[in-house]
Structure formats: C-alpha cells, structure tokens
Amino acid sequence: MASSDHFVIYADDSAKDLAKFAEMLERYHAAMAHVTNKSSAAPSPSNRVTIFAVGSVRDLQELAGGNSRYLQGFYLPRAGASRAFVQDVRPNGRNPDGSLRVLLHEYAHHYLISTNSFAMPRWLSEGSAEFFASATFEDNGRVMIGRPALHRGYELAYADDVAVRELFDAGLYDAKKRTRYDAFYGRSWLLYHYLVFSEERAGQFGQYWLQLIQGTPSLKAAELAFGDLDVLEKDLDKYLRSRRMTAFNIPGELLPIGKVTVSKLSEGKAAMMPVIIRSQRG
C-alpha cells in the first residue's frame, strides 16, 4: 500500500514501483495546480482518492460488470469515498498506457470539479480532462501537460464528425441520431487545446467562461465570446492539421510533492483484499 497527500494505492507490486507510481500521480496533481493556477489544501486522510490495481484487463472488466470490451479503467466519484480501479501498476509515465490514461482523465475530473464552483458543459468537462490526461512524466520530475491526444487520432480521422455548435449545445448534439461512434471526445479535446494556446483568440476562453458563470446558455456564450462559429469551425479544422502543437513543459522543481510512504499489508488484510475491492466497487 502507498500513502501520499492525495492518494491511497493498493497494489500487489514492489515497494519501489508502488512508490514511483504514487510520486508520479502527486506530480500530476501538482502540474494541474500549476497550469490552472489553483492551489487547495490537501484533503483529510479519509477524503483522498483510493486506487485499486486489480490485475489484468479481464479482471478489471469483470469487476466493472457490463459488456464493454474497451474498458481499461473506471472511477467512482463519491463524497468522501472516491474510488478508482485500474490494471496493474505501471510507473512508466513517459508513454502512459490506456489504463493509466483513464486514471489521469478521471482524476482530472476529480481535481477540476473540486476546485471550481460552477458546473461545466460536457464538452468543456471532457475536453479539459483529455487535455490534462495527455501528460508524460520524466524521471527527473518534469511533467509535460497538454501534449497532442494521440489516442484520439483515429477517432478524429475516421469517426463521425461533431460540429462546434453541437459541442456547445447538448440539445443539438442529442438531436442528431448517430449510428456509429463519433468524435465528441476528440473534438472536445481539440477545441479546448486550441482555445488554451491560440494567440489569435487570446482571452476569448475567459470571456466564454465568464458568460457561463453569469448564466448564459453555452451556445449563446460561445457566440458572444468567439464570434462567427463557422469561422471557429474552419480554424479548428486547420488547427487539427497543424504539424506542431504547444504544450506546458514544467520542470520538477516547480512541482513539489509531499512524502510518500509504502507499507506491506498484514497477511490477514492481504487475504481479504479481493473482498474489500468488490465491496468498494459496490
């Protein structure tokens, strides 16, 4: 078991790998705080996110229930008892695998919800989570946030397109009946990334958010902040074809983390972990 300021992690793994995994997640939290310029007090010990590494992808899918062949991890948001379930701990964060990326995506939701007082439209919630989840980690503590979401590349190229108006207006999106998987997540990431880094549209994202918190519907807020949405659509398509994209490259010295402790479970608790995991899954 690893214990840190924001996480409790249970895994059948070496103490070295478990500590490295916990430190990586703490650096991820610190990187989000750095990029968003939002700091918060560490949660009470009982309010940390608990992560269970449950084994193979088959074990994970069986625990989750349902029939999803593509499930690589899942997260249960609960007041005071948030739980995440992933495959085996893999502390190599240079190229995160699917299970780790799911965890990063869901923790981004957890962090952004806990540091904001206002609900986000779905495109903004998912786009920002994808933005932060496309992170990489260096052994020297450096974290890169906002890299291209390469895992969404196939989706952006081949899935059914989603127009920006459909991103901004959930009603328009729901009204368009689709028979295939669409590019909602990929387009949401692309729009969020573009608005964060576009020099031509500097300040517009802030105007959009201000309109939202004043109660303006998302589509109207977008029209007020971004102007002609047909132009925004064309700019976004052009941005997708960019050969280079900007990212935040944050050195380790700017990402201080607290102490990580690793301990071995007692023989009795170790034997009970399958029961505990199923109980926490619910």
Q: What is the pTM of this model?
A: 0.92
What pLDDT does residue 91 have? 66
When pLDDT is averaged across residues 174-190 and rounded to a whole number, the result is 89
| Percent over 90 (pLDDT), the chain | 69
In a domain, 242, yes or no: yes
Tell me if 251 is assigned to some domain. Answer: no
Write out the two tokens for 56.
Answer: 């193979």
Q: Say whether both 202 and 155 belong to one domain.
A: yes
E strand segments, 123-270: 136-137, 143-145, 248-250, 261-262
The answer as to whether 187 is a domain residue is yes
Nearest to 43 by CA among 107, 120, 96, 128: 107
Of 40-49, 102-111, 207-216, highest mean pLDDT: 207-216
State pLDDT tens for residues 115-147.
888 889 999 999 999 999 999 999 899 999 999
Residue 137 domain-assigned?
no
Residue 256 has pLDDT above 80, yes or no: yes
pLDDT score for 93: 64
Residue 109 belongs to what domain range? 1-118+258-282
Residues 70 and 154 in one domain: no
Angle between helices 267-281 and 57-64 (to 10 degrees): 50
Torsion of CA 11, 13, 17, 19, to 10 degrees: 50
Residue 225 lies in a domain: yes
Q: Give the per-residue pLDDT at 60.
A: 87
Find the range with the poorest average confidence among 47-51, 76-80, 130-134, 139-143.
76-80
Given a cut of 80, whether residue 2 has pLDDT beyond it is yes
Tell whether 206 and 281 lie within a shared domain: no
Tell me, what amino acid is at 40? S
- Please tell me whether residues 214 and 183 are part of one structural domain: yes
Q: Is residue 81 part of a domain?
A: yes
pLDDT in tens, 191-236: 999 999 999 999 999 999 999 999 999 999 999 999 999 999 999 9
What's the total number of domains in the chain? 2
Is residue 212 domain-shared with residue 263, that is, in the same domain?
A: no
In this structure, the answer to whether residues 50 and 1 fall within a common structural domain is: yes
